[in-house]
């Protein structure tokens, strides 16, 4: 049996950085990863997909360049082999960077294999047994494949496999109208593929307020994406030239099907029962405010604990654990104000409560909205789709949440994120003097229009 000061299972965006901090403190650490360092973000999520989004936007801008007085003769062609290779290069550079970083650390042992608990202090991997007083789980999540008629008879794609396509689909049917599905839907439409989005719920991006969901649908429809919501029945069958997707309201002749119906934690094959670690009904590991599980000496970080499922929230899990365990701090998960983005174009930046959540909280609230068509920078760039929305507490004057769907919305939202984390009241932020011409300069104006509801 090999002994360590700590064992980290999973090489995502929390565990490896915590392992590195512990090594800096002179600890002996084992990092176990069953496949690739970097987790979903580096290998099948943010980095490759946003690289693909950039290629898709380049195609979109080229096709619409005449509006700006730039004439490009001939057809705008897409070389998917180059597109794929570019995304793969970004992934490999990041992954190899991690490999090189850890290889140069004394005290770090990287093991590739599938780890399972033998007891609360012991794990087995590749026929070896390892023990440590501290074990950190950062095992991530994977796509959910629903049990739909005919699904096992077709060759479907997931968010992991679709990034490896080097040919352009004739018609892509996206099953699931949430964040992952919508990003791929717009991306492939801009590459030139016919795209249909099929969503069980009544709205796209159902986590959002209805006005945001409706605006997202308008953006996608304006680019020629076929959207089907409120679909109760879906079945698949092979056809002579692809896949038939039959719903209760339509029949779609697709060449490819992307299943984007959510993700589930990679916790079902870790031997958690042997360690006594509790999970909820969805398989997420239950943690307290410090990310500790119910078993002393075991923590769960990142997607597998169900508190965020974003790269930045996973990294913040590392920051919380490192601060508490190594720096004597008292940081809490409950202090985190969650923010995220939807990377369609224009993007959606979101932080805090939705309007629906704020109304349900019983607070006296104020709301302000402003269309992007009234933003100078948006007009100058010719990108006026979307709107800004801010919700505030009428009594405390604190900002409760915001949504910015529009040009640079994923960047502009950080002004609100910073104010909320600093506890700044909206009147104080209203008197800031932002730079002109920017999208962010409209934040004080939107705040000035807050009205009780």
**Catalytic residue at 436?**
yes
Phi then psi for 135, rounded to 5 degrees? -130, 130
b/e sequence 150-188, b meaning 16+ C-beta within 10 Å: ebeebebbbbeebbebeebbebbbbbbbbbbbbbbbbbb
pLDDT tens for each residue of the chain, 453 residues long: 999 999 999 999 999 999 999 999 999 999 999 999 999 999 999 999 999 999 999 999 999 999 999 999 999 999 999 999 999 999 999 999 999 999 999 999 999 999 999 999 999 999 999 999 999 999 999 999 999 999 999 999 999 999 999 999 999 999 999 999 999 999 999 999 999 999 999 999 999 999 999 999 999 999 999 999 999 999 999 999 999 999 998 999 999 999 999 999 999 999 999 999 999 999 999 999 999 999 999 999 999 999 988 999 999 999 999 999 999 999 999 999 999 999 999 999 999 999 999 999 999 999 999 999 999 999 999 999 999 999 999 999 999 999 999 999 999 999 999 999 999 999 999 999 999 999 999 999 999 999 999
The catalytic position among 171, 256, 307, 436 is: 436
Nearest CA to 354 out of 384, 320, 389 is that of: 389
Find all residues with CB under 8 Å of 281, minimum gap 6, and list them. Answer: none
What is residue 361's three-state secondary structure?
coil
> Tokens for 253?
């002749």
Asked if residues 439 and 377 have their Cβ atoms less than 8 Å apart, the reply is yes
- CA 160 vs. chain centroid, Å, equals 13
Cβ neighbours for 208, distance < 8 A, ≥ 6 positions apart: 216, 348, 350, 354, 403
Please enumerate in sequence order all residues whose Cβ is within 8 A of that of 256, keeping only pairs 6 or more positions apart, or say none.
Answer: 157, 165, 169, 170, 171, 172, 173, 242, 243
CB contact at 8 A, 196 and 254 = yes
3-state secondary structure 251-298: EEEECEEEECCCEEECCCCCCHHHHCCCECCCCCECCCCCCECCCCCE
| CA 77 from centroid of its chain's CA atoms | 29
Q: What is the pTM (predicted TM-score) of this model?
A: 0.96
d(CA 202, CA 364): 28
Instruction: Show the domains of the chain with their CATH numbers.
Output: 2-141+264-335 (3.50.50.60), 151-261 (3.50.50.60), 346-452 (3.30.390.30)
Cis before 346 (ω within 30): yes
- Asked if residue 184 lies in contact with residue 56, where contact means CB atoms within 8 angstroms, the answer is no
């Amino acid at each position: 049996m090999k002994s360590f000061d700590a064992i980290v299972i999973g090489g995502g965006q929390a565990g490896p950085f915590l392992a590195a901090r512990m090594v800096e403190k002179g600890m002996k650490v084992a990092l176990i990863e069953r496949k690739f360092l970097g987790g979903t973000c580096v290998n099948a999520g943010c980095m490759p997909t946003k690289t693909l989004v950039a290629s898709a936007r380049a195609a979109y801008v080229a096709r619409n360049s005449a509006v700006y007085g730039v004439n490009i003769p001939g057809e705008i062609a897409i070389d998917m082999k180059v597109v794929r290779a570019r995304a793969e290069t970004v992934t490999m550079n990041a992954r190899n960077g991690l490999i090189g970083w850890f290889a140069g650390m004394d005290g770090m042992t990287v093991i590739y294999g599938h780890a399972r608990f033998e007891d609360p202090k012991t794990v087995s991997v590749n026929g070896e047994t390892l023990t440590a007083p501290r074990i950190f789980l950062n095992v991530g999540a994977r796509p959910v494949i629903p049990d739909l008629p005919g699904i096992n008879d077709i060759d479907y794609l997931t968010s992991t496999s679709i990034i490896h396509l080097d040919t352009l689909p004739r018609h892509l049917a996206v099953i699931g109208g949430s964040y992952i599905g919508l990003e791929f839907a717009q991306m492939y439409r801009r590459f030139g593929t016919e795209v249909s989005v099929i969503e069980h719920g009544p709205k796209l991006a159902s986590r959002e307020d209805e006005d945001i969901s409706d605006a997202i649908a308008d953006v996608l429809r304006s680019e020629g994406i076929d959207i089907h919501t409120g679909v109760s029945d879906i079945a698949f069958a092979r056809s002579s030239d692809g896949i038939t997707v039959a719903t209760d309201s339509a029949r779609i002749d697709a060449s490819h099907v992307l299943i984007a119906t959510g993700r589930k934690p990679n916790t079902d094959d870790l031997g958690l029962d042997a360690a006594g670690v509790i999970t909820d009904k969805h398989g997420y590991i239950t943690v307290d405010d410090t990310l500790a599980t119910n078993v002393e000496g075991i923590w769960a970080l990142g997607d597998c604990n169900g508190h965020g499922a974003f790269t930045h929230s996973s990294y913040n899990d590392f920051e919380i654990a490192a601060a508490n365990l190594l720096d004597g701090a008292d940081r809490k998960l409950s202090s985190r104000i969650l923010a995220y983005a939807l990377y369609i174009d224009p993007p959606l930046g979101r932080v805090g409560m939705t309007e629906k959540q704020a109304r349900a909280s019983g607070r006296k609230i104020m709301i302000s909205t402003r269309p992007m068509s009234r933003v100078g920078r948006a007009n100058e760039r010719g990108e006026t789709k979307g709107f800004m929305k801010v919700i505030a507490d009428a009594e405390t004057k604190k900002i409760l949440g915001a949504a910015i769907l529009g040009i640079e919305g994923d960047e502009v939202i950080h002004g609100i994120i910073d104010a909320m984390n600093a506890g700044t009241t909206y009147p104080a932020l209203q008197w800031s003097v932002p730079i002109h011409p920017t999208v962010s300069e409209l934040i004080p104006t939107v705040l000035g229009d807050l009205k009780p509801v």
